[in-house]
Every structure is written in C-alpha cells, then in structure tokens.
C-alpha cells in the first residue's frame, strides 16, 4: 500500500546535480517557519547517524569500483532508517517534512541512468519505506551543463566532485531524462519546476503549490 505523506505533509525536492535542491529546500523551510509551521529539513543519503555513515561510503570517490546493485541497497538502507527514525515520527507529530532527494533519485540515477530496472527499484524502495511516498515532489529541471557548471563554483564535500558528480555528462543526461519520465508518469505528485531561473523565481513556483497544500 502506498501511504502518501502518512497523514502529514511530506515534500521532496528532486533534480539532477547542481539543480538547486538544497537552496530551494532551505528557502521553503524558511518561508514555512516564518508562517509558524514546524518544519523538519532532511537530506538523502543521510539524515540519521547511520545514514550519514552510508553517505560517506556512497559519495567517496575512492570507491569507484561500487556496482549499481550495491548503490541501490546502500541508498535503500539509509532511506529505510531515515523514514523509520525521523520522517514518519515527524509526520505523525504534524511536522512538515522536506527531504532533499528521496525515492525518485534512486530510480533516476540507478534505474534510468544506471541501467537497472526502474520498476524493481521503485518496489524495493516502497518496501524500505513501508509504503511511504511524498505527497508532493518538486522536480528542479535544467540543462545538465548548467547544473554541473553551478557545482564548479560551489565548495563541495569532495574536491573535484563526489563519486556520483564525477560520472560523465552522458550519465547525467540520462538522469535528467529519467526524472522527466517519472514526472510524466506521476503528474499528480511530481511538479516540474523550471530551475534555470534565479533562486527567488524558482522558489515562487514551488511556493505557489505548497501554499495550496497547507
Ligand atoms: N536558481 C539558481 N540560479 C543560479 N545559481 C543557483 C541557483 N540555485 C542554486 N544556485 C547555486 O548553484 C550551486 C548549487 O546549488 P545547490 O547546492 O542548491 O544545488 P543542489 O541541487 O543541492 O546540488 P547537489 O546536487 O550538489 O546537492 C550553489 O552554488 C548555489 O548557490
Ligand atoms: Mg544539495
């Protein structure tokens, strides 16, 4: 059974590398808090002590031998822990949860770009989250070169980019196409955002939708 938002409001921000997810997640958090809402902002992979350790394994450029199935399970493991330990309890308390990436990233990166079956990744992850999906997902879309260009001026956790950022441009194009395919399949949940605009304009597109959900 798919349980959208577990009775609360669960929002995910998705998109390719450098599309502005973290920037927009923070702007949305700030806007909601200014309006007196309790908000939890979390990120994937990570968001728990276990998840942050797994993040270190996943993104470390030294582990270039990692297989796609290994990635699928590590992302899924971190996600299972995050949902059970943080996201679900927060939603049950009425807190609005914003997640910087969620299941759609696994389907886009390891499925459409990585070559594993998108349906299988979807099923496996719904098991990991005990059926939890976001009520609304914002897909930040922009040309691949623009996202990668933005990252060059951002001080990241790893000099020269993390293990995923270092993949070739062809891979990142498949990620973008995969996200767009997901948005086409689930237009009710996934809202496509033009992420080429300045941060404030991107935020306006997101806020227009979130306001209606409150
Ligand atoms: N709308 C925008 N226009 C121009 N630059 C932006 C915009 N949004 C964010 N940036 C800048 O682009 C860089 C990447 O933004 P951000 O870290 O929010 O992206 P991200 O999608 O979270 O990246 P990552 O995939 O690495 O997590 C940052 O330096 C940020 O300041
Ligand atoms: Mg980010």
For ligand 1, whether the C-beta of 20 sits within 6 Å is yes
- Is it the case that residue 193 has pLDDT exceeding 80? yes
The better pLDDT of the pair 114, 160 is held by 114
Ligand with the closest atom to the CA of 21:
1
Q: If 0-12 CB within 10 Å is exposed, 13-18 middle and 19+ buried, where does residue 37 land?
A: middle
- Kindly indicate the confidence band of residue 2, based on its pLDDT and cuts at 50, 70 and 90: low
Sign (positive/negative) of CA torsion 159, 77, 51, 91? positive
Domain count, the chain: 1
1: pLDDT strictly greater than 60: no
Ligand closest in space to the Cα of 147: 1
CA distances from 135 to 12, 157, 208, 209 (A): 8, 30, 15, 12
Read off φ and ψ for residue 48, nearest 5 degrees. -140, 165
Question: What are the percentages of helix, strand and coil residues in the chain, rounded to 5?
Answer: 55, 15, 30
Q: Can you give the residue range of the structural domain that contains 38?
A: 3-213
CA of 214 to the centre of ligand 2 (A): 25
**13 vs 72: CA distance, rounded Å:** 19
Residue 4: the pLDDT is 63
Q: Report how far ligand 1's centroid is from the alpha carbon of 123 (Å).
A: 30
The CATH number assigned to the domain holding 106 equals 3.40.50.300
The predicted-structure confidence for 42-97, as pLDDT tens digits, reads as follows 999 999 999 999 999 999 999 999 999 999 999 999 999 999 999 999 999 999 99
Compute the Cα dihedral for 34, 37, 42, 47 and give only its sign. positive
């Amino acid at each position: 059974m798919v349980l959208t938002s577990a009775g609360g409001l669960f929002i995910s921000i998705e998109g390719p590398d450098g599309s502005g997810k973290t920037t927009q997640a923070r702007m949305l958090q700030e806007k909601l808090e200014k309006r007196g809402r309790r908000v939890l902002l979390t990120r994937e992979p990570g968001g728990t002590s276990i998840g942050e350790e797994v993040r270190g394994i996943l993104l470390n450029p030294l582990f270039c031998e990692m297989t796609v199935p290994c990635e699928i399970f590590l992302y899924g493991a971190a996600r299972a822990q995050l949902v059970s330990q943080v996201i679900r309890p927060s939603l049950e308390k009425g807190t609005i949860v914003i997640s910087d990436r969620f299941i759609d990233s696994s389907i886009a990166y390891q499925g459409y770009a990585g070559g594993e079956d998108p349906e299988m990744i979807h099923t496996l992850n719904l098991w990991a989250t005990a059926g939890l999906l976001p009520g609304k997902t914002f897909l930040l879309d922009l040309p691949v070169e623009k996202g990668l260009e933005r990252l060059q001026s951002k001080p990241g956790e790893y000099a020269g980019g993390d293990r995923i950022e270092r993949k070739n441009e062809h891979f990142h194009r498949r990620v973008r196409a995969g996200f767009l395919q997901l948005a086409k399949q689930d237009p009710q949940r996934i809202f496509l955002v033009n992420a080429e605009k300045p941060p404030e304009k991107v935020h306006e597109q997101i806020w227009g939708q979130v306001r209606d959900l409150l």
